[in-house]
A = this chain, B = another copy of it.
Amino acid sequence: MIITPMQQSLISHFGEMGSRWGLNRTLGQMYALIVLTEQPLNADQISDALLISRSNVSMGIKELKSWNLIKLQHIPGDRKEYFSAPKDIWEIARTLIIERRKRELDPTLSTFRDALLQDPANEADKYTQQRVQDMHDLMEMVTIWSTELQNMSSDKLSTLLKLGSGVGKILDAKDRFLSK
Q: How many residues of A contact B (CB 8 A)?
A: 64
- B17–A125 CB distance below 8 A: no
- A148–B167 CB distance below 8 A: yes
- B120–A6 CB distance below 8 A: yes
Contacts of A131 in B (CB 8 A): 35-36, 89
State in angstroms the CA–CA spacing of A120 and B38 once bound together. 15
Within A118-159, the residues touching B (CB, 8 Å) are 118, 120-122, 124-125, 127-129, 131-132, 134-135, 138, 141-142, 144-145, 148, 152, 156, 159
- A17-B159 contact given A4-B124, A38-B127, CB 8 Å threshold: no
- Give the copy number: 2
Can you give 25 contacting A-B residue pairs, CB < 8 Å? A4-B121, A6-B115, A6-B118, A6-B120, A9-B114, A10-B132, A17-B104, A20-B103, A37-B127, A89-B131, A89-B134, A90-B138, A93-B138, A141-B161, A144-B164, A144-B165, A145-B161, A145-B164, A148-B164, A148-B165, A152-B168, A159-B171, A159-B174, A163-B174, A173-B177
Residues of A within 8 A of B (CB): 2, 4-7, 9-10, 13, 17, 20-22, 35-38, 89-90, 93, 103-104, 107-108, 111, 114-115, 118, 120-122, 124-125, 127-129, 131-132, 134-135, 138, 141-142, 144-145, 148, 152, 156, 159-168, 170-171, 173-174, 177-178, 180
